[in-house]
Structure 1
Amino acid sequence: MNSSRVSASVALLAGAASLVMTLSACGSDSDTSSKPSASSPSIAQVGSSIPEAPPATPSCPTAAPASAGTPEWTLAGTTGNVEVSGSTDTTAPYVKVGGPFSVTETQVHTLKAGDGPVVSPTATVLVCYMGVNGRDGSVFDSSYERGTPADFPLNGVVPGFQKAIAGQKVGSTVAVAMNSADGYPNGQPAAGIQAGDSLVFAIKILDATA
């Protein structure tokens, strides 16, 4: 699991390399001995020894949204309200808290459904996420700020985070407003979270393994 201020302490919670090789053959037009005969296997027939370039390492966009626009999710809480839009390929998510924001029941909203496999409750996931404190609207942890996704097993995170991801499809962007009981009922001082704080997360599910 990637280390972070929150994930390292409470289990809530890594560049791309490419290889290009060129195969060339030189010979004289008059040198018939270098030309493949009808019975000689070609490179395509015997297979190429050129290795495929490794896939790019996933990353989280660090740029802030150019403008708020129309939120993808607006939620009125027991107190206050929150507006959320998920991340794009180039920008981090947008989360605006009219606070203090709180909820008595955890609520999950799919901002954009993915088309990958369904995530099981015990899967190990790779995600980009932003966590916001409903009490004051502060960002207490964000893999978007670091530009690097985090990976962890869902059975090792706070209940609200598991509720947000389990049952979703890989590729989805989701938001969750979690009550204190599903987050940190006793607070998490290292992250500035006090007992009773409701939390809001915007999450992009990049991958999941059983």
Structure 2
Amino acid sequence: MMLAACGSDADAEPGSSTAAASTSSAVAAPAAASCPSAAPAAGGTPEWTLPGATGTVAVTGSTDSAAPEVTVTGPFSVTATQVHTLQAGAGPVVPDTATVSVCYMGVNGRDGSVFDSSYQRGEPAEFPLDGVVPGFQKAIAGQNVGSTVAVAMDPADGYPEGQPSAGIQKGDSLVFAIKILGITG
């Protein structure tokens, strides 16, 4: 299933043919043209552990050869969106209206399920930041290209009314692990 995990209902969905990444014109940090799909090494220490209003989440960012890991002890929820830089990049700062090329994984805090992942598809997604849910924009804008970030977003910054096709219910908090590959525009 491909879903507008980070886009609004009216915009092209990340992972759809209209939103597929093309990093040839992107300003990129040293990054692969694909998103690694291998599981991370077992026994690693999470780079971010966040106790929520309920539950907890632990996030380990991706590497050049492994996808990120997001572990939810749930149900996990937050009352305010929180962003954490897992690994700082050295590229240019991402403007809040840029078009970005990213690898990302979206996890539902209610049950820990992955509802969308460019890592699973093995391909980056490209989309304008002004066409995504507010929490996703908050996570990326102001970061440096090459950064790996995590965001735990409250329902208002995700899908306040839910996104039934993805199993997201009204009131669900969402967690994303994102690797910023490049920017255009």
Rounded Cα–Cα distance in structure 2 between residues aligned with 1:69 and 1:94: 10
Give me the CA root mean square deviation: 1.8
2:179 is aligned to: 204
Rounded Cα–Cα distance in structure 2 between residues aligned with 1:4 and 1:121: 25
Between structures 1 and 2, the one with greater strand share: 2
1:139 is aligned to: 114
* Alignment check: 8 A CA contact 2:8 2:133 kept: no
Deviations along 1:110-135, one digit per CA (max 9) or x if unpaired, are 00000000000000000000000000
2:137 is aligned to: 162
Rounded Cα–Cα distance in structure 1 between residues aligned with 2:52 and 2:59: 13
Q: What runs of 5+ residues in structure 1 fail to find an aligned partner?
A: 15-55
- Which amino acid letter does the alignment assign opposite residue 52 of structure 2? G
**Counterpart mapping for 1:37-76 below 5 A:** 58-76=33-51
Select the structure of larger CA radius of gyration.
1
- Give the drift of 1:209: 1.5
Rounded Cα–Cα distance in structure 2 between residues aligned with 1:191 and 1:58: 26
- Which amino acid letter does the alignment assign opposite residue 127 of structure 2? F
TM-score if structure 2 supplies the norm length?
A: 0.86
* Alignment check: 8 A CA contact 1:160 1:178 kept: yes
Deviations along 1:22-54, one digit per CA (max 9) or x if unpaired, are xxxxxxxxxxxxxxxxxxxxxxxxxxxxxxxxx
The count of residues paired between Structure 1 and Structure 2 equals: 167
2:94 is aligned to: 119
Rounded Cα–Cα distance in structure 2 between residues aligned with 1:128 and 1:68: 23
Task: List structure 1 segments (4+ residues) > 4 angstroms apart after TM superposition.
Answer: none
* Alignment check: 8 A CA contact 2:8 2:132 kept: no
* Alignment check: 8 A CA contact 1:126 1:149 kept: yes
Deviations along 1:141-196, one digit per CA (max 9) or x if unpaired, are 00000000000000000000000000000000000000000000000011100000
Rounded Cα–Cα distance in structure 2 between residues aligned with 1:9 and 1:107: 20
Q: What runs of 5+ residues in structure 2 fail to find an aligned partner?
A: 15-19, 21-30
TM-score if structure 1 supplies the norm length?
A: 0.76
Report percent identity of matched pairs: 74
Cα 1:57–1:69, aligned 2, differ >3 Å: closer, same or farther?
A: closer
1:31 is aligned to: none
Rounded Cα–Cα distance in structure 1 between residues aligned with 2:41 and 2:145: 26
